[in-house]
Each structure stands twice: as structure tokens, then as C-alpha cells.
Structure 1
Amino acid sequence: MKKLIAATILALSTSLTAAQADVLRVGMSGGYFPFTFVKLDVLQGFEVDFMNAVAAETGDEVEYVTMSFSGLIGALESGRIDTIANQITITPEREAKFAFSKPYVFDGAQVVVKKGNEATISGPDDLSGKTVAVNLGSNFEELLSNLPNATEIDVRTYESNIAQDTALGRVDAFVMDRVSSAQLIAESPLPLALAGAPFSEIRNALPFRNDAAGQAQRDKVDAAIARLKENGTLSEISNKWFGADITKVD
């Protein structure tokens, strides 16, 4: 009888947990190595492992929705997805619109050039009179627009191929985050090089719609992120993909 009662309680508990579990629709591009990319038809990367770990903490189910990076913010605003895991940088403009989770990646903006040109372009100060590529919809266009020499920089927005066009000399440089830039250079046969040091601190987090439902999702995810930091899981995921812990301030 005791075994039967215990089994019944377990079944009811499992049923209740399943009923309370939410589906978290997570948008990402699937084209930003090593954070989110597709290999052998499998969506993977740091952001995927991170969101899977978050879901394991919250008990929710993750549904990944991939689309072009430039469409992610619109999809979040329209309610087609619940959040974005694609190295979304916290900016004042985005903070005014969305409810952000606590930061879980700390990085910096990086100039990348064709190998051999790093002697003449050693950072953002040397971008005057140059054509510079950035990903469409990213915050790097805004970062460049705030530089003292912004009016002298010809910024080109791309959906893809910014690295290839830089290597081929179609543009003088591109700007993306330091971690992705270093990984791209290490993995790619393209002749590319880092130009100088990172020039801006970047804090990445998950944006949610700034309403009661979105704030509740954010709070649940924040609690999960705190536990993942405390138990070392977040650091393990970072070291797996980058060989370093980018989830905390140096």
C-alpha cells in the first residue's frame, strides 16, 4: 500500500510539473559561430548549450526559431518568439524597450582586417577614410557612429560574408565581438587578423518583452542564470566553446 501511495504521489507530481512547464521560444540566427551555428544540420553553439542549461533549471521546454539576425528584434516585438539568444548587447535604446536578463557574457568590440593590414589599421582610430562592414541589425553600427571619427567611416551593413569581403579586399575591415572574431580567425582559412585591442565593453543578455508575462519569464530565467553561475555550469559551457570563461568580468 505504501509503495502504491508513493507511486501515486510521484505520478501526480510529474503530471503537475509537466502541466506547469512552459515552452520558451528562443530566436537565434544559426549563423554566428561559435555562439549559434548549424553543422551537419544540427543547431549548436554556446547559446544553444546555455539555453538548454537554463531550461533544465526552469523545467521549461525550449523551442528554437532560426531566422536572419536582422529579423530577430521584430519577431520578439511581434510575439513570434519570447527572447533572443544571439549575443544581444544591452544598449540604452534596447533597455528602454525590453526587459533584459542579467548579463551572461562580457566581451568587447573588435576590428578585424585582411592579414598584413594590421600594421596600418591598429584599431578604431585608424578607420577614418575606410570602408567597414558590420552585421545588419547588430549594435556595432551604433558603436561606430559614436566614435570621434564616425563621420569619416564608411559603414556597410551585411547579412553575411563580412569576413569574406574583408579578406578579398572589398572592404577595409569589419567589426564584431572579440570572442567571435578570434574564433573565426582560428577556424577559417581566410587571411584575417585582429587589428588592435577591443575598444568597447559589451554586456550580452536575453531580452524579453517589457510586459507582465515577459517580466515573469525574465525573472524565472534570471534565477536559473544565477544558479548556473553558482554551480559552475555557465563557466563549463564557456570553456567548452572558447577555452576561457567569458561569462564574468575579468
Structure 2
Amino acid sequence: MKKSLAITALALTISFSAAQAETLNVGMSGGYFPFTFVKLDVLQGFEVDFINAIAAETGDEVNFVTMSFSGLVGALETGRIDTIANQITITPERQAKFAFSQPYVFDGAQVVVKAGNEDTIASVEDLSGKTVAVNLGSNFEQLLSALPNADEITIKTYESNIAQDTALGRVDAFVMDRVSSAQLIAQSPLPLALAGKPFSEIRNALPFRNDDEGTALRDRIDAAITTLQENGTLTEISEKWFGADISVAE
């Protein structure tokens, strides 16, 4: 009798756990090395490892949905995905629309130029009179537009080839986060270099729809992020991809 009750209790526990598990539909571009990219037909990168670590904590399944970066916000708004893991920067405008998790990446905006031109752009003031490329849908266009000399900067948006056009001199520079820029330069044969120091702190987090269901999911994911921070998993993932811990503010 006791054995029968134990088996029944175990079955109920398994059934309850299965009922609680969800499928997280996570959007990403799959084209932003080393955060999210495809190699040998395998989606990988910092964001992929990060989301898989969260799912290991929550017990959820993960369905990665890849699309162009510019379409990710619309997919979140319409419910096609539950969140975006693609270096989404917290901004006042985005906070007004979405419920954000705690930050898990701390970075800064960085100017990148063709190698040999580093001295021509030592600071953002030197961007005056220049054509500067940014990724379409990223926060860097907004950052540049907020500069005191914004009226003197020609901003060009790109879906791809941003690094190639800079190396070929078709644009004077591009702006990306410093972490990705340094990794891109290290991995690419293109003649590129960092110009000046980073400007404007960047805090990346996971956005969720700002409704009861979205905020409840955010809270559950946030608890998992805290666990990953406390047990060192987030630091391990960061050091794997960047050789440094980008999950804490300097």
C-alpha cells in the first residue's frame, strides 16, 4: 500500500512538473557574432548559451526563432516570440513599451574605422562631417542622434556589410558595442580598428510584453538570471565567449 502511494505521488509530481514546463519562443538574428550566429548550420553564441542556461533553471523548453534584427521587436509585440536575446539595450523608449529583465551585459558604444584612420576619430566630436554606419534597428542610431554634433553627422543604416563598407572606405566609420567590435576585429581579415574610447554605457536585458502574462514570465526568468549570477554560470558563459566577464558593470 505504501509502495502504491509512493508511486502515485511520484507520478503526480512528474505530471505537475510537466504541466508547469513551457516552451520559450526566443527571437534572435543569428547574425551577430559572437552573441548569436550560425556556424556549420548550428545556432550558437553567448545569447544561445545564456538562454539555454536559463531554461535549465526553469525547466522550460526553448524554441529559437531567427529573423532579421529589424523584425524582432514587431514579433515580440504581436506574440510570435516571448522575448528577444540579441543584445537589446535598455532605453527609456523601450522601457515604456516592454517589461525588462535585470541587465545581464554591460558595455559601451564604440566607433570603428578602417585601420590606419584611428587618429582621425579620437572622440565623438570628430564624427562631425563624417558618414557613420549603424545596424538597422539597433540603438546606436538613437545614441548618435542625441550627440551635440548630431546635425553634422550623416547616419547610414545597414542590415549587413557594415564592416566591409567601412574597410572599403564607403563610410567613414561604424558604431557598435565595444565587446562585439573587438571580437569582430579579432576574427575578421578586414582592416579595421577601434577609434577612441567607448561612449555611452549600454545595459542589455531581455524584453517581455508589458502585460500580466509577460511580466509573470519576466519575473520567472529574472529569478533564473539571479541564480546564474550567484552560482557563477553567467560568468563562465561570458568568459567562454569574450575572455572576460561582461555580465557585471565596471
Q: Assess same fold via TM > 0.5.
A: yes
**Aligned match of 1:105:** 105
In structure 1, distance between residues paired with 2:37 and 2:11: 38
**Matched residue SS, 2:227:** helix
**Aligned match of 2:169:** 169
Q: CA deviation at 1:235?
A: 0.4
Q: What is the one-letter code of the residue matched to 2:66?
A: T
Alignment of 1:112-151 (within 5 A): 112-151=112-151
Q: What is the one-letter code of the residue matched to 2:145?
A: S
In structure 1, distance between residues paired with 2:9 and 2:43: 37
Q: In the alignment, does 2:9 pair up with 1:9?
A: yes
Render the CA deviation track for 1:124-169: whole Å, top value 9, x for unaligned: 1111111100000000000000111100000000001100100011
Q: CA deviation at 1:4?
A: 5.2
Q: CA deviation at 1:60?
A: 1.0
In structure 1, distance between residues paired with 2:172 and 2:10: 62
Q: CA deviation at 1:5?
A: 4.3
In structure 2, distance between residues paired with 1:169 and 1:126: 17
In structure 1, distance between residues paired with 2:4 and 2:182: 58
**Aligned match of 1:230:** 230
**Aligned match of 1:201:** 201
Q: CA deviation at 1:12?
A: 2.4
In structure 1, distance between residues paired with 2:175 and 2:27: 23
Name whichever of 135-144 and 5-14 sits farther off. Answer: 5-14
In structure 2, distance between residues paired with 1:75 and 1:237: 27
**Aligned match of 1:18:** 18
Q: CA deviation at 1:122?
A: 1.6
Q: CA deviation at 1:93?
A: 0.2
Alignment of 1:211-222 (within 5 A): 211-222=211-222
In structure 1, distance between residues paired with 2:57 and 2:174: 37
Where do 4+ consecutive residues of structure 1 move more than 2 Å?
1-12
**Aligned match of 2:91:** 91
**Aligned match of 2:241:** 241
**Matched residue SS, 2:240:** helix
**Aligned match of 1:159:** 159
Q: In the alignment, does 2:76 pair up with 1:76?
A: yes
In structure 2, distance between residues paired with 1:54 and 1:247: 15
Q: What is the one-letter code of the residue matched to 1:181?
A: S
Q: CA deviation at 1:3?
A: 5.2
TM value normalised by structure 2: 0.98
In structure 2, distance between residues paired with 1:45 and 1:82: 19
In structure 2, distance between residues paired with 1:3 and 1:166: 71
Name whichever of 15-24 and 126-135 sits farther off. Answer: 15-24
In structure 2, distance between residues paired with 1:200 and 1:181: 15
Q: Which residues of structure 1 form unaligned runs of 5+?
A: none
Q: What is the one-letter code of the residue matched to 2:34?
A: P
Q: CA deviation at 1:6?
A: 3.7
Superposition RMSD in Å: 1.0
**Aligned match of 1:62:** 62
**Aligned match of 2:27:** 27
TM value normalised by structure 1: 0.98
Q: What is the one-letter code of the residue matched to 2:178?
A: R
Q: CA deviation at 1:2?
A: 5.2
Q: CA deviation at 1:123?
A: 2.7
Q: CA deviation at 1:9?
A: 2.8
**Matched residue SS, 1:17:** helix
In structure 2, distance between residues paired with 1:205 and 1:61: 20
